[in-house]
Amino acid sequence: MSLTFLAAADGGFQPPSVEHSFFFDKIGDGSVIASVKAMGLLVVGVVAIIAFFTASARRAAVVPGKLQFAGESLYGFVRNGVAIEILGKNGRKWAGFLATLFVFVLVMNLWELLPVAQLPVTSHFAVPVFLAVMVWVIYNFVGIKKHGFFGYLKLMCYIAGIPWYMHILLIPIEFLSNIILRPFTMAVRLFANMFAGHMLVGVASAGTLFLFEQGGISYATMVLPFVASMFLVFFELLICALQAYVFVLLAAIYLESSLADSH
């Protein structure tokens, strides 16, 4: 989040608006405003990811260097800890996709903590929605491909071994939960956590700068929001990694449910 205070006409300071926190400043007459910021960070992040993995794999050796070790560790963490753990024998097939998804979400989250950028790209709702819909399309496609359309619906909505009259209630609930709501809940979980964390760090930091500007006894009281902002920055580092892990874990669980032989 931008921590810069905007100079007011009387020479004082006022906190940045929500718009200023999530976008670049207006250009010219204000007709050009940057969701360009989020999209610019997204493009830079993608280029950085491609460059990192290309460089880490360029001189692959039996005894890996630091860059190769970092790349292999990221991939190995997702392959062994998520793909194989959740998908079993299908895990190696999906490890590349899940590792890419994990690194992408992680990098887009970490923009929040980098100077100048200070904006998690995933706090723009369109990005989590796109990722969630992509996962939704993929797991439904592979499920239908394996089981057929009606076989897949039965897998997702029919629970064996319960009284027939319970299906009247449970089939619509299972359909809504497994087919309709999954992408929405995935997107909202990622967006809400990153948006809220971004705002908390910004509020604590803005409070520090405001009290610093007031001077006098405010120099003593500004310690509290300053300490809070430092704590929140480190806490957000954990949240950035955790939300990337949760997102890719859910993607793996949904893929496993689509490829399973029974509900």
3-class DSSP state of 255: helix
CA distance 50 to 43: 11
Question: Which of residues 101 and 39 earns the better pLDDT score?
Answer: 101
Cβ–Cβ under 8 Å, residues 155 and 143: yes
Q: Does residue 125 lie within any of the structural domains?
A: yes
Q: How many CA atoms lie within 13 A of 92 on its CB side?
A: 1
Q: Does residue 228 lie within any of the structural domains?
A: yes
One-letter amino acid identity for 159? I
Q: Does residue 82 lie within any of the structural domains?
A: yes
Dump pLDDT digits (tens) for 216-246: 666 667 677 777 778 888 888 999 999 999 9
Q: What is the pLDDT of residue 61?
A: 74
Q: Does residue 49 lie within any of the structural domains?
A: yes
Q: Which domain, by its residues, includes 41?
A: 6-259
Q: What is the pLDDT of residue 219?
A: 60
Q: What is the pLDDT of residue 46?
A: 95
Q: Does residue 62 lie within any of the structural domains?
A: yes
Q: Does residue 1 lie within any of the structural domains?
A: no
- The predicted model gives 93-104 an average pLDDT of 95
Cβ–Cβ under 8 Å, residues 225 and 208: yes
Q: What is the pLDDT of residue 119?
A: 85
Dump pLDDT digits (tens) for 11-45: 444 444 555 555 555 555 555 554 577 888 899 99
Dump pLDDT digits (tens) for 125-183: 889 999 999 999 999 999 999 999 999 998 899 888 888 888 888 889 989 988 999 99
Q: What is the pLDDT of residue 22?
A: 55
Dump pLDDT digits (tens) for 37-94: 788 889 999 999 999 999 888 877 777 778 888 889 999 999 999 999 999 888 999 9
Instruction: Assign 3-state DSSP to the chain and report helix, strand, coil percentages, each to 5.
Output: 75, 0, 20
Q: How many domains does the chain have?
A: 1
Q: What's the whole-model pTM score?
A: 0.81
- The predicted model gives 86-103 an average pLDDT of 93
Q: Does residue 214 lie within any of the structural domains?
A: yes
Q: Does residue 147 lie within any of the structural domains?
A: yes
